[in-house]
Chains A and B, each alone.
Chain A
Amino acid sequence: MPAAANTLSVLEPPPMPAAPGAAVVPHPVVVAHPAAPALAAAATRAAAEDVHTQRADSRRRRELMARVLAPLFGMALFVAIWAAIAQQGSIPGPLKTWQAAVQVFSDPFYTNGPNDQGIGWKIGGSLSRVGIGFGIAALIGIPLGFLIGRFMFLRNMAEPVISLLRPVSPLAWLPIGLLVFKGAHPAAIWTIFISSIWPMIINTAVGVQRVPQDYLNVARVLSLSEWKVFTKILFPAVLPYMLTGVRLSMGVAWLVIVAAEMLTGGVGLGFWVWDEWNNLKVENILIAIIVIGVIGLALEQMLLLLAKRWQYD
């Protein structure tokens, strides 16, 4: 197959221009070629490069489509369906909602008495309830997870209680909170606390149990103290699991706060939804839904970023 052999050999790169003074070793295959095949070869090579750039171009186009255009297209379709449904008349369309939103966000921090405050205060109110309830849950849940993961007796003790309480709907805890804390505000925080503690306990405990035996063998061979084992091996090894638990908990907390605030009232996004339902200002309900979604997304992304920082492999 002389032709095939030629094509193959001429596809080899041409010798590099030699640096001054460097010994030039001619490429035997290229030199041995008569002129005609060499020209054909150049053409073939140009064609080949062309194919390569074309391929690269189309790959870039596909990536652009997947990364940017597809999400944009999805959002556009979503808005279109929304607009179509709004035509039926029961809910306001995107345009009306947008105009209402411009108005709502034009003065985010006004205060007109305890029940009429700007969107900024509402977001702040919801976030602070979530922050406090979730913060206490983390302070208790994470150490508890470590203990449950480390000691089998505690694990066996806690397992039935956790399995029993975890599937309970968050709002079922609200009356207990109202009863014990004698106030709507602490009851909402209590509800956040009790519903967001489980993922942190469970993920931390699982993380502790999954610490690679190799690392624990290092600890045993060095006979490290319990404190050193905790700070140098256990905690860093569990951290990725713990952060997953934190992320799941935060998701739950943010889901629950809206429902809890609907029932407890006060300044917050949840009560706002309920309030505007009573006022029949549906466009504000839609704004609230979008704001809740955006904040939930932002919290999730923030925690994902944080988790990436502690990935070791």
Chain B
Amino acid sequence: MDHYLKIENVGMTFETRKGPFVALRDIDLAIRQGEFVTLIGHSGCGKSTLLNLITGLNIPTAGYLFLSGRQIAGPGPDRGVVFQNHSLLPWLTCFENVYLAVERVFGGNETKARLIERTRHALELVHLTDAADKRPQEISGGMKQRVGIARALAMEPKVLLMDEPFGALDALTRARLQDELMRIVDETHSTVVMVTHDVDEAVLLADRVVMMTNGPAATIGEILEVDLPRPRDRLQLANDPTYMRLRKAVLEFLYQKQLKAAA
């Protein structure tokens, strides 16, 4: 399964009132099972558009996407999505929000007790057992995002798609959630594609950092292999020469090569 998630020659053109807008072109990317890939680029570079194509919310105007051999033709529960703004339903408790997803995926052939157990386990995984019966507006932003992760993971998706999941959180909460995410991914061997605009996050979490050129007509600029051993510790990495070199490479891409192009 070397090409678990395969993106072949994908382009995306939106029809707007001012005529066609080319958001993405010539995207080629193959992601291995169990790999953690981060997409980074300046805002407006189409990284979220690319994620939406994998999600199936948008269908590419050119090229194809395959997930474990099957073409992606629309959204489906085999891809767990963590949205930027958590997108929890405010009239459901945290438990019910996760249960809705669990029921959809496993409701057909499992007992209710088993579904409840799955939901509890997912909330346990993100350390939210105590908040299960609270509604989203009663918990903090970091907790909401954790419920979002629990909801996505509880579906046992083939790939976990995250669209700047920690972008709206304060730095300390973000760091804690990043650590938790690394632990969870280690435990579940999930395949993850995460969009981010945070250089440290991109390098810390990823096996590969995919750097995108500026839009319009954005494409993949460079791909950086992050060969740091896991589990990773942010404090130790702070002075690690490999980490610093990788971080510098991303920064150079974003602020030398791409900023000039943007200006």
Contact = CB atoms under 8 A, between A and B. Distances in A.
Contact of A217 (B77, B79, B87, B137): B87
Contact of A313 (B76, B77, B83, B90): B90
Which of B56, B100, B135, B137 has the most chain A CB within a 10 Å cutoff?
B100
B87 A215 contact: yes
Interface of B: 55-57, 74-77, 79, 81, 83, 85, 87, 89-92, 100-101, 104, 135, 137, 155
B87 A220 contact: no
B89 A221 contact: no
Contacts, number: 49
Chain A interface main SS type: helix
Interface string A218-235: 101111100010001100
Nearest 6 pairs of A and B residues by beta carbon:
A312-B90, A236-B91, A214-B87, A220-B75, A221-B81, A221-B75
Interface of A: 214-215, 217-218, 220-224, 228, 232-233, 236-237, 312-313
A66 B37 CA distance: 60
Contact of A223 (B76, B87, B92): B76
Contacts of A228: 100, 104
Given A221-B79, A223-B104, 10 more contacts: A214-B83, A214-B85, A215-B89, A217-B57, A221-B57, A221-B76, A232-B89, A233-B89, A237-B91, A313-B90
B75 A232 contact: no
Contacts of A237: 91
B104 A218 contact: no
Nearest to B97: A218
Contact of A222 (B57, B77, B85, B90): B77
B150 to A, nearest CB: 14
Given A218-B87, A312-B90, A313-B90, A232 B79 contact: no
A41 B74 CA distance: 73
